[in-house]
C-alpha cells in the first residue's frame, strides 16, 4: 500500500507542476574549468575539482557524433573497450575484459540523470539501450569503482547519461541511412520563469545489415524544473523507451566475419528482443542554514522478452521488475575549504523471470537428453537495498587536498520458486543425462558490504595536478546468479564480489593542450563464474593493470587533434581448470592489450566542421585457455557538419570509410569453435537539423 501511495504521490506532483503550462570540451584550461559533472557526488561540480577518473562527452561532441549506437560515443572515453553486438545490443568493458554470463552486467552501473536504469540485483548487459543517449546533453563515465555515492554494480565503473536542462527549445532532426534506415529526433520546450519544461522524442527504423536483423525503437523523455515560493527547487520528469529488434546470431567458423557468403547471413532468423523501460522521478533541492538537502524519489519498471539464440535449445526469457526508491544526500560547507556530506539510499524491487523452450532441442544426442522442452524457470524475487554513506573533503595545505569516505550497504533477496524444485523437466521427469536447468527451493539471502575510499590531490602549479586514489568497489550477486542454476547445483553459496583499486593520475592544461595520464592496479576477489559443470561459484581472483592517456592539442586556430590511447593487462590469479588446463596467469579472454581512438578535427569560419577518426581495437584471446584469438582491427570514420544559418544545419557521417571486414565481437566455445558478430561495411548517414524556435 505504501509503495502504491508513493508512486501516486510522485505522479501527482509531476502532473500538478505541469498544470500552469496546460561540449564537446575543447583543448585548454578554460574549457576544462567550465566542464561540470554530476556522477561523482550526485550534484553538479566542476570537473577540475574532482578527484576521480571521470570523462565527459559534451553536447557539441554528441551532436557531431550523431551516434546510431552508443558504442560510437563511448569509444572516445579512455578505459572503455566494449563490443557492439547485433542491433542495439552491446557488451560493456570499463577497465575490464568484456564480461559475459548471468551477472556480468553487475560490474557496471548505468544511470540516467543519476537514476540507475535497472535495479542493482536485476541488471542486463544491454541496459545502455534503456537510456535516451541520442538526445543527451552529456555522457559521463567514471572508470574504476564509483564513489561512496554509488553502491552495488558500480564495480568497474559507471555511465551516467545527462539529459538537457528543460527550457526554451524547438528542434527537429531527420536522418537517412543505408538500406532505407531512418531516424527522427524532435524537441519542444518553454521557460515560463519559475517553471520550465521540455519534451524530447527519438524514433529509429533500421532494416539491418544482416538478414532478419531490423530494429524499431522509440524513446520519449519529458523534463521539468519548478521553484516553489519557499525556495525549494523541483526537477524531474519521466522517460519511456521501447525496443523491438530482430536479432542476428553468431556467424560460425574460423574467419567467418571475412566470408562474403556468410557475414551478412543470420543463422537465427527467429531471434528477437523486445524491451520496455520507464522511469519517473522528482528531485527536491532545498537549503536550511548551512546545509543543502537533496531528496529524489523515483519509480522504475522494466519488461523484456527475448530468444536466447546463443544457447542450445534457444529458450525464451521473459523478465520484468518494478522498483520504488529514493536517494537522499545532505551537503555542508564547513569553512576552511572543507565540505562534508552524508546520505541514505533505499530501494524496493519486485521481479520475476520465466524461461521456457517452445520447441524440442536440436543437435547431439547428449543435448537432446539434457535440454527439455517446456518451462525451465519460473520464479519471483523481492529485493531490498539500503545504504548509508558519508564523505569528507578538506584542504591539508595550499597544495594538498584530502577526500575520504565510506559506504555501508545491505542487499536482501526473498526468492519464491513457482515451479517444481530440483533438476527435472516441468512435469517432474528427470532427464536421461541429468537436466541442465536446476531450480532451488524458496530461500532468503542477505549481503552486507562496506566500500571505503581515500583520495589525495596535489596542485603542482596553476595548470597541472597529481591525484592518488585507493578505493573498494562491491557488487552483490545478481538474482540470476543465485536462482537460475544449472547442473547438479541446488544452492548458490555466493559472496559479494570485491574489487580493490589503486591509481594515480597526472592531469593539466594550458591554452592549447590538455592531458590526463592515469595508471591503475586493481585486484578482484570472489568473482562469480560458471565452471565446466555449469556451477555458479566464487571461483576466480583476477588482476587488472593499465595505463590510460587522454589528450587534446590545438595545432592551429582551425585544426585540433584529440585522442585516447590505452594499455591494459587482465589476468587470472588463482588455480582454475578450464578445458583441462590450469589457467592461472593466463590472459582473460576478450581483453585487448591495446585500444584507442584518435580524431583530427577541422573548423572553418564557424560554419564547417570535419572530423577524421581512427578507431583501433587490438588483438585478444577468445577463450580462457588462450588457444584461440582475434587479430583486432582498425576503422576510419569521417564526419562533417555544416551550419547553413542559425536555423538549419546539415551533416553527413561515413562509417568504416575504408570498408574493412572486421568483427564487432569474436568469441569461441567448445561446441562451435570460432564465432563472430560481423561488423558492417562502409555506410553513409546524412541528415539535417532545423531549429524552428
Give the CATH number of the domain where residue 633 resides: 2.40.170.20
Provide mean pLDDT across the span 202-225. Answer: 95
- Domain assignment present for residue 18? The answer is no
| Residue 561: closest CA among 511, 512, 526, 596 | 512
Interval 15-49: pLDDT, tens: 333 333 333 344 555 455 556 777 777 777 766 66
| Residue 251: closest CA among 667, 631, 625, 617 | 667
Residue 419: pLDDT band (50, 70, 90) is: very high
Q: Who wins on pLDDT, 604 or 520?
A: 520
Provide mean pLDDT across the span 314-342. Answer: 94
Residue 3: pLDDT band (50, 70, 90) is: very low
- Domain assignment present for residue 5? The answer is no
To the nearest whole number, what is the mean pLDDT of the chain?
90
Q: What is the pLDDT of residue 50?
A: 78
Q: What is the pLDDT of residue 31?
A: 57
Provide mean pLDDT across the span 560-584. Answer: 91
- Domain assignment present for residue 8? The answer is no
Provide mean pLDDT across the span 50-67. Answer: 91
Interval 395-409: pLDDT, tens: 999 999 999 999 999
Contacts of 401 (CB under 8 A, 6+ apart): 51, 337, 393, 394, 395, 456, 457, 458, 459
Provide mean pLDDT across the span 153-182. Answer: 94
Residue 94: pLDDT band (50, 70, 90) is: very high
Whether pLDDT at 13 is above 80: no
Interval 354-377: pLDDT, tens: 999 999 999 889 999 999 999 999
- Domain assignment present for residue 363? The answer is yes
Whether pLDDT at 560 is above 60: yes
Whether pLDDT at 9 is above 70: no
Given a contact cutoff of 8 angstroms between Cβ atoms, the answer to whether 404 and 451 are in contact is no
Provide mean pLDDT across the span 586-613. Answer: 94
Q: How many domains does the chain have?
A: 1
Cell numbers that stand for 594 in this block: 591495446
Whether pLDDT at 485 is above 70: yes
d(CA 497, CA 480) in angstroms, rounded, equals 15
Whether pLDDT at 466 is above 50: yes
Q: What is the pLDDT of residue 33?
A: 53
Q: What is the pLDDT of residue 1?
A: 40
State the pairing for strand pair 157-162/108-112: parallel
**Highest-pLDDT range among 12-21, 437-446, 484-493:** 437-446
Given a contact cutoff of 8 angstroms between Cβ atoms, the answer to whether 167 and 191 are in contact is yes
**Listed range (94-103, 209-218, 261-270, 673-682) with the worst mean pLDDT:** 94-103
- Domain assignment present for residue 37? The answer is yes
Q: What is the pLDDT of residue 348?
A: 97
Q: What is the pLDDT of residue 28?
A: 55
Given a contact cutoff of 8 angstroms between Cβ atoms, the answer to whether 53 and 518 are in contact is yes
Whether pLDDT at 262 is above 70: yes
| Residue 244: closest CA among 265, 222, 213 | 213
Residue 528: pLDDT band (50, 70, 90) is: confident
Q: How many helices (H) and strands (E) does the chain have?
A: 6, 40
State the pairing for strand pair 633-643/648-655: antiparallel
Q: Who wins on pLDDT, 499 or 45?
A: 499
Whether pLDDT at 552 is above 80: yes
The helix/strand/coil state of 486 is strand
Q: What percent of the chain has pLDDT over 90?
A: 77
- Domain assignment present for residue 16? The answer is no
- Domain assignment present for residue 137? The answer is yes
- Residue 261: is it exposed, middle or buried by C-beta count within 10 angstroms (0-12/13-18/19+)? exposed
Q: What is the pLDDT of residue 655?
A: 97
Whether pLDDT at 605 is above 90: no
- Domain assignment present for residue 258? The answer is yes
Domain that holds residue 680: 23-691
Q: What is the pLDDT of residue 24?
A: 38
Amino acid at each position: 500500500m505504501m509503495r502504491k501511495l508513493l508512486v501516486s504521490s510522485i505522479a501527482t506532483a509531476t502532473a500538478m507542476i505541469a498544470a500552469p503550462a496546460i561540449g564537446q570540451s575543447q583543448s585548454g584550461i578554460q574549457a576544462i574549468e567550465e566542464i561540470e559533472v554530476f556522477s561523482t557526488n550526485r550534484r553538479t561540480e566542476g570537473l577540475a575539482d574532482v578527484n576521480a577518473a571521470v570523462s565527459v562527452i559534451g553536447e557539441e561532441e554528441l551532436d557531431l557524433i550523431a551516434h546510431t549506437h552508443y558504442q560510437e560515443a563511448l569509444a572516445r572515453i579512455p578505459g572503455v573497450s566494449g563490443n557492439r553486438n547485433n542491433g542495439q545490443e552491446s557488451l560493456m568493458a570499463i577497465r575490464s575484459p568484456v564480461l559475459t554470463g548471468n551477472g556480468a552486467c553487475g560490474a557496471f552501473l548505468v544511470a540516467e540523470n543519476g537514476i540507475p536504469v535497472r535495479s542493482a540485483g536485476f541488471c542486463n548487459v544491454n541496459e545502455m539501450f534503456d537510456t535516451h543517449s541520442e538526445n543527451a546533453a552529456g555522457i559521463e563515465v567514471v572508470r574504476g569503482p564509483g564513489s561512496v555515492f554509488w553502491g552495488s554494480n558500480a564495480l568497474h565503473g559507471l555511465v551516467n547519461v545527462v539529459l538537457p536542462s528543460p527550457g526554451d527549445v524547438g528542434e527537429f532532426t531527420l536522418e537517412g541511412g543505408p538500406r532505407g534506415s531512418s531516424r527522427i529526433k524532435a524537441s519542444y520546450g518553454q521557460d515560463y520563469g519559475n517553471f520550465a519544461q521540455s519534451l524530447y522524442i527519438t524514433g529509429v527504423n533500421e532494416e539491418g545489415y544482416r538478414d532478419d536483423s531490423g530494429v524499431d525503437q522509440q524513446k520519449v523523455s519529458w523534463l521539468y524544473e519548478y521553484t516553489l515560493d519557499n525556495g525549494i527547487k523541483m526537477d524531474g520528469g519521466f522517460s519511456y523507451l521501447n525496443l523491438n529488434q530482430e536479432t542476428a546470431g553468431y556467424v560460425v567458423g574460423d574467419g567467418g566475419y571475412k566470408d562474403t557468403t556468410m557475414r551478412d547471413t543470420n543463422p537465427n532468423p527467429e531471434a528477437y528482443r523486445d524491451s520496455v523501460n520507464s522511469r519517473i522521478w522528482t528531485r527536491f533541492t532545498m537549503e536550511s542554514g548551512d546545509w543543502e538537502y537533496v531528496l529524489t524519489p523515483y519509480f522504475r519498471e522494466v519488461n523484456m522478452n527475448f530468444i536466447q539464440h546463443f544457447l542450445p535449445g534457444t529458450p525464451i526469457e521473459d523478465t520484468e521488475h518494478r522498483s520504488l526508491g529514493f536517494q537522499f544526500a545532505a551537503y555542508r560547507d564547513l569553512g576552511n575549504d572543507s565540505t562534508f556530506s552524508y546520505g541514505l539510499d533505499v530501494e524496493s524491487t519486485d521481479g520475476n523471470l520465466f524461461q521456457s523452450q517452445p520447441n524440442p532441442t536440436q543437435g547431439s544426442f547428449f543435448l537432446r537428453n539434457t535440454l527439455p522442452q517446456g518451462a525451465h524457470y519460473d520464479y519471483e524475487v523481492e529485493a531490498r537495498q539500503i545504504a548509508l554513506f558519508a564523505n569528507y573533503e578538506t584542504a591539508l595545505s595550499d597544495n594538498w587536498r584530502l577526500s575520504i569516505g565510506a559506504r555501508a550497504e545491505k542487499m536482501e533477496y526473498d526468492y519464491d520458486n513457482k515451479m517444481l524444485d530440483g533438476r527435472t523437466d516441468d512435469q517432474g521427469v528427470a532427464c536421461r543425462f541429468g537436466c541442465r536447468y536446476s531450480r532451488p527451493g524458496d530461500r532468503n539471502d542477505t549481503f552486507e558490504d562496506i566500500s571505503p575510499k581515500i583520495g589525495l590531490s596535489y596542485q603542482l602549479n596553476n595548470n597541472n595536478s597529481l591525484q592518488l586514489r585507493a578505493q573498494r568497489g562491491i557488487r552483490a550477486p545478481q538474482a540470476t546468479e543465485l536462482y537460475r542454476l544449472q547442473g547438479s547445483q541446488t544452492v548458490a553459496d555466493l559472496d559479494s564480489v570485491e574489487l580493490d583499486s589503486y591509481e594515480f593520475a597526472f592531469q593539466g592544461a594550458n591554452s592549447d593542450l590538455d592531458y590526463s595520464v592515469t595508471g591503475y592496479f586493481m585486484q578482484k576477489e570472489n568473482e562469480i563464474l560458471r565452471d565446466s559443470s555449469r556451477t555458479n561459484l566464487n571461483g576466480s581472483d583476477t588482476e587488472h593493470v593499465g595505463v590510460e592517456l587522454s589528450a587534446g592539442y590545438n595545432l592551429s586556430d582551425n585544426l585540433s587533434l584529440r585522442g585516447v590511447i590505452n594499455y591494459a593487462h587482465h589476468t587470472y590469479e588463482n588455480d582454475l581448470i578450464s578445458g583441462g588446463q590450469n589457467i592461472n596467469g593466463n590472459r582473460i579472454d576478450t581483453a585487448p592489450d591495446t585500444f584507442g581512438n584518435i580524431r583530427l578535427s577541422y573548423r572553418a569560419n564557424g560554419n564547417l566542421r570535419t572530423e577524421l577518426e581512427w578507431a583501433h581495437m587490438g588483438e585478444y584471446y577468445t577463450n580462457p585457455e588462450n588457444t584461440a584469438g582475434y587479430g583486432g582491427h582498425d576503422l576510419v570514420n569521417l564526419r562533417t557538419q555544416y551550419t547553413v544559418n542559425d536555423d538549419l544545419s546539415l551533416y553527413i557521417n561515413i562509417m568504416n570509410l575504408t570498408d574493412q571486414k572486421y568483427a564487432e565481437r569474436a568469441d569461441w566455445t567448445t561446441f562451435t569453435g570460432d564465432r563472430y558478430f560481423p561488423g558492417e561495411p562502409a555506410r553513409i548517414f546524412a541528415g539535417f537539423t532545423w531549429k524552428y524556435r
